[in-house]
Structure 1
Amino acid sequence: MNDYFPRPGTASVPVLRLGDVLLITLQGDLHDGMAARLQQDVAEAIVRHRVAGVVIDITGVEIVDSFLGRILAEIAAHAKLLAAQTVVAGMRPAVALTLVELGLTLPGLRTALSTEAALELLGRPDAARSGGPHRDPR
């Protein structure tokens, strides 16, 4: 089952549930208010739906500054405390270089080149192919 969690009446980042994984797609700039709402939305969705993983797709992000790096690290830290793994997908080479130049190590974050690869890292290969939750054939 796929669920979409927009926060009504506010500019927010959509959080999509694919089985036991949350998918967040960042596009453009993320200002302070949106970042705080995103952190809260992700933490609440992890607990409400008992998800095991969070994929943050940053393919649409052209520039990462220390603010966005900190937000990604904080989301990963919150998720880890709530027993979920976080994978950042779709990082552009320029973004990776910027993160290194800024000295941001992003503890608790794993990376993948694509959303599909991120889902596979989380052990959800069926979700990567079909868009649905992983089903154990046993």
Structure 2
Amino acid sequence: MLAALSEINWFAVIVATLVFAVLGGLYFGVIVAKPYKVALGNENRELPKPGPIFIVGPLVSSLLVVITSAVLLRALEIESVGAGIGFGLVISIGYLIAQTLTIAINPNFPRPLLYTLINAPYFIVCTVTASTILTLWQ
């Protein structure tokens, strides 16, 4: 499976990772900023200004998700856009959203279901878009 690393279009990986970053900034910083604070129990708190880890961390995580998706797409020989979209849905729902819910179900997340519901559209859109880019630019 790791042999697929040599077959990856790295330009597509960079573009797909940038999609995650741009959509993440817009989605969490603008579109769902207030509900996201509510889901985390921070609606009445002034939050500190985010440091570099709040930019670099998600970017590195997104890069790892995209590289993993690229490896799996190649290893599974997924070549059609429809199959790429299906793959993105399976990964986003089956792994990313499910894992988000698992992480959120602990005492530090006051509203785990809301947190998961807020994150779900981001993961679906980004992963399907990334899978489509990776499929088109093989």
Q: TM-score range by the shorter chain?
A: under 0.3
TM-score relative to the length of structure 2: 0.25
Structure number with the higher strand fraction is 1
Structure number with the higher helix fraction is 2
TM-score relative to the length of structure 1: 0.25
